[in-house]
Structure formats: C-alpha cells, structure tokens
Amino acid sequence: MKASVLKENLAKALSVAGRVVSTRGSLEILSHIMVSTEKGRMRISATNLEIGINYWIGGKIEKEGDITIPARLFTDVVNSISSEKIDISIEEMDVKIKSENDNLSIKGVSAEEFPLIPSIKGEPLLVINSGILKDALNLVNFAAALDEARPVLSGIYFNLDGDNLILAATDSYRLAEKKIKLEVKSTNKKEIIIPAKTMIELSRILSDLDEDIKIYIDDNQVLFAAKDIEFTSRLIEGQFPNYQQIIPGENETKAIINSNEFSNAIKVATLFSRESANSINIFIKSKGEVEIKAISSQIGESDTVIKAEIIGKDGEISFNGKYLLDVLTNLKSPKVSFEMSGKLSPGTIKSEKNDDYVYIIMPLRS
C-alpha cells in the first residue's frame, strides 16, 4: 500500500471505528484496526464480532494493499502528528507513517488474520434519515434489558410494516415504543431484533451525520449504510414479546407537566431514594398539582410540588425514579403527558403533542 490522506479524515475514521475495538479480550487481532484500499479510497475497519464498522476516507492511493495495526497506538500516533497530510505505506509487515516531520514505523499483522466483516448484497429494505433514526433509537435504547438473561429483552425490536417503522424495547419493568412514518415509501414487511448495545453505538455514530441511511437485512445480520460508513450488527434470534396488550387504553388520571420541572423534581427525589431502589411517590391532585416525594430513614426526605394541568381524578403511584429520568432526558418535548389508572396499573408517559411515542412504567408496590 502507498497512500496519502488528510490527518483530520483519518483521525475521524479512527475515532469512530475505534469505539468497537476490543481493548481486552482473548483475540488480540480484535484490538487492531484494518487499513486497506478500495476503489481509490482508504478503508478503516474494526470489529468486535458483534459489530463491524467500515469507514471510507478519500485520499491519493498510489498502490493498493491491506494490513492491520494496533488500534490504540495508531490512533494516538495520528492524533499526535501535527501535519495536515499523512503518507502511509507498507513494507513487509511494517506500516510506515510519514508526515512533514515524522518518520514512523509500526509493526502490523497481516490483514488475512482479520475477521471478515460481512457485507449484505441486494436492495435496501428501507431508507431513513439519520437524524430521525437517531432520535427514535434514543427514545427506546434505554428501555432494553442490560443483562442477557432473556436475550430478546436485551434487543431493540424493529418492525417494518410498509411505510411504518416501529421500534420497541422492554426490560419487563418498562416499555418504550416509537412509530416512524417513513418518508421514502416501502412495501416491505420485516421484524428483527438488534442488540441494544449495538444500537447505542449506532446512535452515537448517527449524531455526526445528516443524510439518508439505507438499511439492509439478511437472516442473521443487519447493515446500516451511510455514504462513507457501513455499520453491521448481528441479530438476536427469537420472538419479541407481544407487548401491545400491556399498553393501557384510556386512563383515569392525566397530568400535562412541564418536562424540565418534572425532571428536576424527579432528580431531587431520587437523591433521597437510594436506599429504597429509587422508589419515589407521585401524587396527582386535581386542584392542579403534582407532588413528588421520597423518604430515606438514613439521610432525610424530599417533597416537591409542581403545577400541572390535571384531567380526571386524583391519583397516587410509586415508580423507580430512574426509569422516569431516562425518558424525560431523551423526550425532547417541552411538556409531557403523564397518565395512570390507580396505583397498581402501569403509568404512561407521552410527549404532549405527538402520539407516535409511548413509554410504559410498571408501578412499585409501596
């Protein structure tokens, strides 16, 4: 290989691909980045066997080639170099890196040792804007289970039904569902489950993009393709729970609450609920108030009252405060609608105006 690239582009590619590099683990090759050339561009690849990333950058390619390099060292080296342009070449198994002042040599490992990052052929199943996908993922990712005791619960459910894409996640204590009306029409139908860990990484990558993402699916993997980045993930096998049945219909009590005030009140209460697994008590009062309380025998107690528009009768319920903070942090709506029907039924949070998102929390017995 003999190639020239801009430091800025290479550093960006390494910071994105570097996120999936395994720093500890049995397979040393997974701590490497693969550098290769393809159709006049340089390709930076990384995989942890669950996620694969290919990142292409432009440059001047004089000679094709490929090799793998320790990811951390390569990234640190590129970030420390001060010149704008970096020349990379391979001599046997040594990667030669030249900048204006520097003549560096890093011992590489043959690209043949690197796991193949699978690619998917054919037509995309759907096309979606990167920002819309990112916002949707951020509204469901936190509701997935962190452990993999029941694998399907550690995943995000993608349900494509023609022009509608539905994302959902549940750890059995709470459920989040987001519906997206696709702008690019589709007639396909498909249901898959993708690891939530993977989708958290995808969401981070999408934050920097503003373009259409093509999604390809085959039997055991999914590929998200941007212009210069391909992101591949394994799928989770199994049947996602039939969660529709637990979404309540009409509720007895409804409060329209300022999101910031609600969020601050929950934050204060959770400081006093550490002993009791974040259990906080919410009282909805038809006189136009929501009261949030937490009591700790050791450290003290909190009592916060905020004004709200109340529809229906008084209500009282206990929740894990962290579950409420998760949704209030991500739901970008100035006001939220909080609904409930007695202390034993699940509570519901929606944004005030849109009905394309619903978040259900199971109550705690207090």
Q: Taking CB under 8 A as the rule, does residue 362 contact a copy of itself?
A: no
- Tell me the Cα Rg of the chain: 25
Would you say 132 or 306 has its CB closer to a copy of itself? 306
Residue 334 one-letter amino acid? P
Q: Which is nearer to a copy of itself, 182 or 268 (CB)?
A: 268
Inter-residue contact 280 to 294 (CB < 8 Å)? yes
* Binding status of residue 287 toward a copy of itself by CB under 8 A: no
Minimum distance of a copy of itself from residue 287's CB (angstroms): 16
Phi, psi angles (nearest 5°) of residue 351: -75, 155
Q: DSSP assignment of 24-80, as one string?
A: SSS-GGGGEEEEEEETTEEEEEEE-SSEEEEEEE--EEEE--EEEEEHHHHHHHHHH
Which of residues 209 and 306 has its CB atom nearest to a copy of itself in the complex? 306
Q: Give CA separation, 324 vs 108, 218, 264, 342, 349, in Å.
A: 48, 36, 11, 18, 9
How far apart are the C-alpha atoms of 340 and 292, rounded to whole Å?
15
76 binds a copy of itself (CB under 8 A): yes
Q: Does 102 bind a copy of itself (CB under 8 A)?
A: yes
- Could you write out the DSSP letters of every residue in 70-88? EHHHHHHHHHH--SSEEEE
Residue with tokens 């023609």: 162
Please list, in sequence order, all residues whose beta carbon lies within 8 angstroms of the beta carbon of residue 112, skipping any fewer than 6 positions away.
Answer: none
Verify binding: residue 329, a copy of itself, rule CB under 8 A: no
Among the listed residues 60, 300, 354, 366, the single contact to a copy of itself using CB under 8 A:
300
Distance CA 41, CA 44 (A): 10
Pick one of 246, 268, 311, 362: the residue that binds a copy of itself (CB under 8 A): 268
Report the C-alpha gap between 224 and 158 in whole angstroms.
13
Binding a copy of itself (rule: CB under 8 A), the pick from 299, 334, 354, 366 is: 299
Provide the residue type at 180 as one letter.
Answer: I
> Which amino acid is it at 4?
S
Q: How far apart are CA 297 and CA 280, in angstroms?
A: 14
Task: Please report whether residue 359 would count as binding a copy of itself according to CB under 8 A.
Answer: no
**Options 6, 29, 73, 246; binder of a copy of itself; rule CB under 8 A:** 73
CB of 150 to a copy of itself, least distance (A): 34
Nearer to a copy of itself, 235 or 331 (CB): 331
Stretch that binds a copy of itself, among 150-158, 239-247, 268-276, 353-361 (CB under 8 A): 268-276
Shortest separation between residue 299's beta carbon and a copy of itself, angstroms? 6
Q: Which is nearer to a copy of itself, 95 or 194 (CB)?
A: 95
The rounded distance, in Å, linking the Cα atoms of 226 and 174 is 32
Using the rule CB under 8 A, which residue among 26, 82, 239, 244 binds a copy of itself? 82
Candidates 76-84, 220-228, 232-240, 357-365 — which segment interacts with a copy of itself by CB under 8 A?
76-84
What's the closest the beta carbon of residue 255 comes to a copy of itself, in angstroms?
15
- Interface residue with a copy of itself among 221, 264, 276, 333 (CB under 8 A) is 264
**Which residues of the chain form contacts with a copy of itself (CB under 8 A)?**
70, 73, 76-77, 80-82, 94-95, 101-107, 260-261, 264-265, 267-268, 271-272, 298-306
